[in-house]
Chains A and B, each alone.
Chain A
Amino acid sequence: MKTSKSGHHLFVGLAGRLGALACVLFGVSLITFTITFFAPGDKAAAIAHARYPDTQSFAPEILEGIRQEFALNEPFFTQYYLWLSRFLSGDFGNSFASNVPVWEIFVSNAAETLTLTLTALVLGLICAFFLSAIAVWRPGSLADRFAVALASIGAAMPNYWLGLLLILFFAAHLNWLPAYGTGTPAHLVLPAITLAFWVTASQTRLLRSFMLEAKAAPYVETLRLRGVSEREIFFRHVLRHACVPALTMIGLDVASLLEGTVIVELTFARGGLGSLLAGSILTRDYPMILFLVLFSALVYVILNTLIEVVQDLLDPRKTFLGRHRAASSGGERP
């Protein structure tokens, strides 16, 4: 009986979540479509420029042909409805620039971005963890100051500049690594370091403060009085407490990493979703832009949901879908 009740709550909760997700995506699609619709300039000319990038002028017949093809003479809501109904039926449209289906372009670029972001994230988090752990072990020590300094430098240094510096040193001067491109693990090293440095910088500052906060909590003193070793206090308690808020920030960082890939992929002339988005915006390839913006929104929403689930696992006080449990037990949780 109890199982079926909790299963029901889980179902209601999940349905609520999915409903919220659909609402967010609908809102994003409407806003993005509105922005592209009201973007200055003739949209037919924009499509013509995407198709024929080396041409500045187009005959009126060519532009009229494009208007017919994309129903550009229709009012806003008709155009939005047409686009949305196609989108929902799985037809994401073709790129204006290449006429290749948007989905195919997306799939062929996703793997490279996944490789880059995952590598950078793992690398950056490992470094951030070690740096903040060393820093917190003895606050105010030389190691702590070093970690804080490194984090500040990382936060202040733009990806673009760091990327160029790395190319200059490791590719142009030392000739150890390729300056650009993809294909071999060696191609991944410099872009991953560039992106990871940013993760390390932002996470070290946060992890350090979360750990310091956890370390200063009154229960730590109680544990000490009970004779628990410092090592155990740190690894079993401090770290675990620091992990809960850190996870939220890491989740947000993953989403921001997608933004970071735009610059890094362009600097290192890698393919991927970041450079694809930048290229699409420059050529005003609207179907591609709409798809990528919706994808980013989806990633943000899914990541936020995942963070809540993982936080649940780590912190027994928090419950994903907790509102429903609380509601069913007849009141707000303390």
Chain B
Amino acid sequence: MLNRKLKSAVTVMMGLGAMAFANLAVMPEAALAGEKTLRVAIPFGPKSSVPDPRARQNGWLSNRAGVSETLIGLGYDMTMQPRLAESFENVSPTEWRVKLRPGVKFHDGSVMTAADVKASFEKIDVEGHPGHNPRLSRLLGIEEIVVEDDQTLLFKTKKPSSAFLWSLTEPSAAVLKEGTEELPLIGTGPYIFVSAETEKRYETRKFADYWGGEPKLDHIVMDALSDPSVAALALQAGDVDLVTNYPEPDFAKLKEEGKGQLFAAPTTRLFFFQVRTADGPLANKALRQAISLGLDRETIVKASLSGVGGEKANAIFPGTMASWANTGLSLDYDPAKAAALLDEAGIMDTNGNGIRELDGEDISLKLRSYEGRAALRPTLEITQAMLQQLGINAEIAMAEYDANNEALKAGDIDMHLQAWGTAPLGDPNYFPSTLVESGVSYNFSGYSNPELDELLVKGRESFDDEVRKSHYDRIQEIINEDLPLIPVFHKTQVSVGNGKVEGFQIHPAETYFVTVDLDLAD
């Protein structure tokens, strides 16, 4: 009796085992012999099996993968570049004429027309459509799209917006045709979408009829390897040809030894403190300035990113951002000047306990950050030590991003260390107008400066880039002077190839990656 029961139990177990192993028989789409396949390790995978580039932020991956394209692009110096649009002009404060590049073909072989572009953009507002995107709709603020002829469109915006063309560089503003079973995503890029596995893999194949010439690779497989150490080992094992986000300490070692095919470039991602300026100890400007002077940004980069993963910040935009950075600014480390500034402001240690006092009380600041980016925690810890050197006590902790924002807004904490892409669309307005303009929802500092507010309004209303540049130069100067935000460093992306990768370049806003020039040497 018992034996029979045991036998049936064993049979059931064997059945389950067989079922489990049957799962192994499902092989991934294997590259055909003789075809060129590039395998890339990326940090984040696709969010669904057919990620429509217009929805959510799927566009970032499909744009990087060379599947979908936008009308206007961002150059490697962060300037505006024609992409699917050949030219564009401002007709009136609310009207923009866009002329399409002739001869652009969709992945199904059909030629892209102005009507296709209009249809693609309209899907953003269709609830229930896979491309529905309320955030993008608000960003673009389109009132109407008029097809003037096969190659020309007139975009009418709800409000005057000098940033409209910049917002067309947003990867979600992609031009797509309705997908079919065979071709679920029909874009215009050099590579055709083959398949996606949620958070795992994104596969593409060559589109020979690409408007920019024939791509050099037959297939590209992008695998999401969230652990950089595993990605580095996968490169060593020959399982991937390129790792886009390589672990910084290993990169520094390769650099020192002169080994490996190394790529590094600063990005527009800024690590900065948002500071509570409306009340609390940091309402004192001299104290904020002293803190900024007391931060040895180079040491921070060296300690938290092995000296290769970041570049000391001199303002909110990196110097490489040719279009908008105010290169005349600097944020230097000068502890002597910081001490003098504090002494002058009467912030001194009168009771000899090593901590300076403000209004008769020892200064003790609450600093917070959040998990999600490896460099945040060490940066916070080093800052604490540096503040201690200045005679300022700091209590640090890692918490939740939105909870930190709320605590800063309530004045429960003094500084919130964060990392933001400062110009994801190339336009300089986004970052300051989201964080430091009076009364805006992310101004948790409670900061208000009428001059800065006026400059931001002028910057948005002006359609002349030279005039705009002068406004944003001054805005960057005010931020460095008032320090409602204390910039620390700009993140540098470090990538490593297997020595055969050609035509790869790191984009400062991490907008592009696969281009028609990407190749793998034999």
Contacts and interface: CB of A to CB of B under 8 A. Distances in A.
A127 to B, nearest CB: 17
B24 A171 contact: no
Interface string B397-433: 0011111011000000000001011001000000000
B239 A180 contact: yes
Contacts of A105: 198
Nearest to A45: B402
A167 B237 CA distance: 9
B233 A164 contact: yes
B361 interface: no
A183 B27 contact: yes
Contact of A164 (B135, B199, B200, B230): B230
B233 A179 contact: yes
Contacts of B239: 171, 178-181
B438 to A, nearest CB: 15
A136 to B, nearest CB: 22
A223 interface: no
Interface in A148-203: 164, 167-168, 171-172, 175, 178-185, 188
A167 B20 contact: no
A291 B420 CA distance: 32
Contacts of B5: 313
Contact of B200 (A55, A114, A269): A269
A49 B227 CA distance: 21
A33 B339 CA distance: 50
Contact of A52 (B56, B399, B402, B434): B56
A178 B230 CA distance: 11
A60 interface: yes
Contact of A183 (B26, B57, B418, B435): B26
Interface stretch (A14-22, A84-92, A94-102, A204-212): A94-102
B388 interface: no
Interface in A24-58: 39-42, 45-46, 49, 51-58
A144 interface: no
Interface string B15-32: 011011101101110000
Contacts of B24: 115, 183-185, 188
Interface in B37-94: 44, 47-49, 51, 55-57, 60
B225 A180 contact: yes
Interface in B365-399: 372, 399
Interface string B352-365: 00000000000000
SS of B interface (majority)? mixed
Which of B6, B21, B47, B49 has most chain A Cβ within 10 Å? B47
B224 A98 contact: no
Contacts of A111: 20, 23
Given A180-B223, A181-B239, A267-B230, A60 B424 contact: no
Contacts of B47: 97-98
B230 A269 contact: yes
Nearest to B55: A99
Contacts of B56: 51-52, 98-99
A323 to B, nearest CB: 22
Nearest to B401: A41
Nearest to B510: A54
Given A42-B402, A269-B225, A269-B226, A59 B441 contact: yes
A57 B422 CA distance: 11
Nearest to B399: A40
Nearest to B26: A183
B229 interface: yes
B348 to A, nearest CB: 37
Contacts of B55: 99
21 contacts: A55-B424, A62-B135, A97-B47, A98-B47, A98-B48, A99-B56, A105-B198, A111-B23, A122-B17, A164-B230, A167-B230, A167-B233, A171-B239, A172-B233, A178-B237, A180-B230, A181-B223, A185-B21, A188-B24, A269-B200, A275-B199
Nearest first, the 10 A-B pairs at minimum CB distance are A41-B402, A40-B403, A171-B237, A172-B236, A98-B48, A41-B403, A115-B20, A179-B234, A98-B47, A179-B237
Given A184-B27, A185-B24, A282-B372, 9 more contacts: A42-B402, A49-B402, A53-B57, A100-B49, A167-B234, A171-B233, A172-B237, A185-B21, A266-B226
